[in-house]
């Protein structure tokens, strides 16, 4: 039952309204001054306040201001004896939902209250929908719905809601950072900061200060106090990328922070508590590093509370075609491209050692090279076409005669396992011609 609080210094009016509202099925309380109203509001759980404006002592405006500091959603309806529309306009500016001019009838009152209740419901519904959209947004950026990715995203959605440390494993380019961000966006910390630390990119002597900050004069060059990434991420998520590259002494310091949830800036002995959710990622095999003694076992176990492994692209080939379409859209400036069917066949068959990032690079380059909004297989690099999956790789077409020749020589040498006599036979040329061309094109430097 909706609870209504009436605030008015006119006691008989209060009684009349209260009686009418009770008949309509509301639960009603009365306060005969602004002060009393505020007190009752604080101790009750009303959904609607009907308040007079002009009262001795605290005015209706003042009550409204105080109420709004505490509750932004309660419906506040002003009742005024003066019919002062200005007052009502002002009231709506400071946050009243509606107003009633005395004397008002029962039905007018019912109408205003019900309208406000409906409006509030819509507003809440709207907020919920918006939340849902923003929630989905995070994981929707991860294209590809192969069964493994579907399961992974379901798990990550649940993981996001907790505050525990997440550890993302996966080869280079599998989307670890994208997933880390999606987890943040879907977590209760989504309005807080998302701060990334890329461990290997920071010079060794600076990383401690980068993580924990420093005070002025802590070392040469420390001109003033500086916040570290842990402090910057306070209330949000700290993404420790490539954690496998962290030096052993820093691993010890990180472990302590994860245990104590406190940091100390370099050059200072004052602990600062930090409220940070950690997401760590690596493309290294940390099990092996732990076994070899280059990564602390205790830190490893503290980090891998919720491990998530993103499989390489070659183990979820169903994701390739959707990713191709996604990247064409992303890099194609809205232009519609026609893709020859054999292109998709090649792309699906290729092993993608550089995973999604490599696929994205290929699509980006192919789009640049495509002369007529058509993507044909001659735009794909040889490696993709032959499915060799070597790492050094480009989507530049090898179409000039010397380039084709060079490629043919490389292929022949590969087929003959480096045996030049046999390679020359494959190519149908004398051995000395092969040797000459190998020198000319600088191929087979490592070949016997």
Residues that bind Mg ion (CB under 5 A): 177
**Bridging pattern class, strands 262-264 and 271-273:** antiparallel
Please identify, using beta-carbon distances, which residue of 87 and 138 lies nearer to ligand ATP: 138
Cβ atoms of residues 12 and 20 within 8 Å: no
Q: Toward ligand ATP, which CB reaches closer, 28 or 143?
A: 143
Cβ-based nearer residue to ligand ATP, 175 or 228:
175
Using the contact rule CB under 6 A, the part of the chain among 71-79, 157-165, 173-181, 334-342 near ligand ATP is: 173-181
* Residue among 284 and 431 whose Cβ is closer to ligand ATP: 284
Strand order of the β-sheet with 166-169 is 194-198, 237-241, 277-282, 166-169, 306-309
Name the minimum Å distance from CB 173 to ligand ATP. 5
Name the residue nearer to ligand ATP (CB basis): 60 or 170.
170
Nearer to ligand ATP, 41 or 350 (CB): 350
Q: Which of 7, 75, 77, 143 binds ligand ATP (CB under 6 A)?
A: 143
Q: Quick one: which of 21, 38, 356, 367 contacts ligand ATP (CB under 6 A)?
A: 356
Residues 273-332 that bind ligand ATP (CB under 6 A): 283, 323, 326
Q: Is 365 in the site for ligand ATP (CB under 6 A)?
A: no
> In the set 92, 172, 196, 234, which binds ligand ATP (CB under 6 A)?
172
Q: Work out how close the CB of 175 gets to ligand ATP at its nearest, in angstroms, rounded to a whole number.
A: 3
**Interface positions, 144-163, toward ligand ATP (CB under 6 A):** 144
Q: Which of these ranges, 52-60, 169-177, 253-261, 386-394, lies near ligand ATP under the rule CB under 6 A? A: 169-177
Is the Cβ of residue 80 or residue 165 nearer to Mg ion in the bound state? Answer: 165
User: Applying CB under 6 A, which part among 138-146, 256-264, 343-351, 364-372 lies near ligand ATP?
Assistant: 138-146
d(CA 151, CA 173): 19
Count of residues engaged in binding ligand ATP, rule: CB under 6 A: 17
| Closer to ligand ATP by Cβ: residue 146 or 414 | 146
Beta carbon nearer to Mg ion, 74 or 142: 142
Instruction: Return the one option of ligand ATP, Mg ion, none that residue 396 interacts with (CB less than 5 to 8 A, by type).
Output: none
Exposed e or buried b per residue across 330-340, where buried means at least 16 C-beta atoms within 10 angstroms of its C-beta: ebbeeeebebe
Handedness of CA 354, 359, 360, 363 (dihedral sign): positive
d(CA 74, CA 12): 25
DSSP 191: T
Stretch that binds ligand ATP, among 4-12, 167-175, 415-423, 429-437 (CB under 6 A): 167-175
Residue 221's region, left for phi above 0, alpha for psi from -120 to 50, else beta, is left
CB neighbourhood size of 95 (10 A): 13
Distance CA 320, CA 244 (A): 28
Taking the C-alpha atoms of residue 11 and residue 119, their distance in angstroms, rounded to an integer, is 30
Segment contacting ligand ATP by CB under 6 A, of 26-34, 37-45, 113-121, 171-179? 171-179
Count CB atoms within 10 A of the CB of residue 70.
10
Between the CA atoms of 423, 425, 430 and 434, what dihedral angle is there, to the nearest 10 degrees?
A: -20
**Residue pair 212/266 in contact by the 8 Å Cβ criterion:** yes
Using the rule CB under 6 A, which residue among 30, 117, 178, 349 binds ligand ATP?
178
Residue 437 site contact among Mg ion, ligand ATP, none (CB < 5 to 8 Å, cut-off depends on kind): none
Residue of the chain from 61, 78, 91, 176 that contacts ligand ATP (CB under 6 A): 176
Q: Which two tokens stand for residue 91?
A: 């009231």
**Using the rule CB under 6 A, is 360 a contact of ligand ATP?**
yes
**Where are any strands of DSSP class E within 199-313?**
213-214, 226-227, 237-241, 262-264, 271-273, 277-282, 306-309
Of 172 and 419, the one with the shorter C-beta distance to ligand ATP is 172
Residue with tokens 């002060």, as numbered in its chain: 35
| Separation CA 269–CA 239 (nearest Å) | 25
Give the residues lining the site for ligand ATP (CB under 6 A): 142-144, 170, 172-178, 283, 323, 326, 356-357, 360
């Amino acid at each position: 039952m909706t609870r209504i609080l009436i605030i008015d210094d006119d006691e008989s009016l209060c009684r009349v309204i209260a009686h009418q509202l009770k008949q309509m099925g509301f639960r009603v309380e009365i306060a005969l001054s602004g002060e009393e109203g505020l007190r009752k509001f604080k101790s009750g759980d009303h959904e609607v306040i009907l308040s007079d404006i002009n009262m001795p002592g605290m005015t209706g405006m003042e009550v409204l201001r105080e109420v709004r500091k505490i509750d932004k959603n309660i419906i506040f309806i002003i009742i005024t004896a003066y019919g002062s529309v200005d007052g009502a306009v002002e009231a709506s500016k400071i946050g009243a939902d509606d107003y009633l001019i005395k004397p008002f009838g029962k039905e007018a009152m019912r109408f205003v209250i019900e309208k406000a209740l409906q409006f509030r419901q819509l507003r809440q519904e709207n907020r919920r929908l918006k939340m849902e959209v923003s929630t989905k947004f995070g994981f929707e950026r991860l294209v590809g719905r192969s069964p493994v990715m579907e399961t992974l995203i379901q798990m990550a959605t649940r993981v996001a809601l907790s505050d525990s440390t997440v550890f993302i494993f996966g080869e280079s380019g599998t989307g670890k950072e994208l997933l880390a961000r999606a987890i943040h966006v879907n977590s209760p910390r989504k309005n807080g900061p998302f701060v990334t630390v890329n461990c290997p990119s920071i010079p060794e002597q600076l990383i401690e200060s980068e993580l924990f900050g420093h005070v002025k004069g802590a070392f040469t060059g420390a001109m003033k106090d500086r916040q570290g990434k842990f402090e910057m991420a306070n209330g949000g998520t700290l993404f420790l990328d490539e954690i496998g590259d962290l030096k052993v002494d820093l691993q010890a310091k990180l472990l302590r922070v994860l245990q104590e949830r406190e940091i100390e800036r370099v050059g200072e002995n004052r602990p600062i508590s930090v409220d940070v959710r950690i997401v760590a990622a690596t493309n290294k095999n940390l099990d092996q590093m732990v076994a070899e003694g280059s990564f602390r076992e205790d830190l490893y176990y503290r980090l891998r509370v919720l491990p998530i492994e993103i499989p390489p692209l070659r183990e979820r080939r169903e994701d390739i075609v959707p990713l191709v379409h996604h990247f064409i859209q992303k890099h194609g400036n809205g232009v519609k491209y026609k893709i020859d069917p054999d292109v998709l066949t090649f792309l699906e068959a290729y092993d993608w050692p550089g995973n999604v990032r490599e696929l994205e690079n290929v699509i980006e380059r192919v789009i640049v090279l495509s002369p007529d909004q058509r993507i044909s297989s001659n735009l794909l690099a040889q490696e993709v076409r032959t499915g060799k999956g070597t790492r050094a790789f480009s989507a530049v077409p090898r179409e000039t005669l010397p380039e084709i020749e060079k490629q043919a020589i490389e292929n022949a040498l590969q087929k003959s396992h480096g045996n030049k006599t046999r390679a020359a036979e494959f190519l149908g040329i004398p051995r000395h011609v092969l040797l000459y061309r190998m020198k000319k094109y600088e191929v087979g430097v490592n070949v016997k």
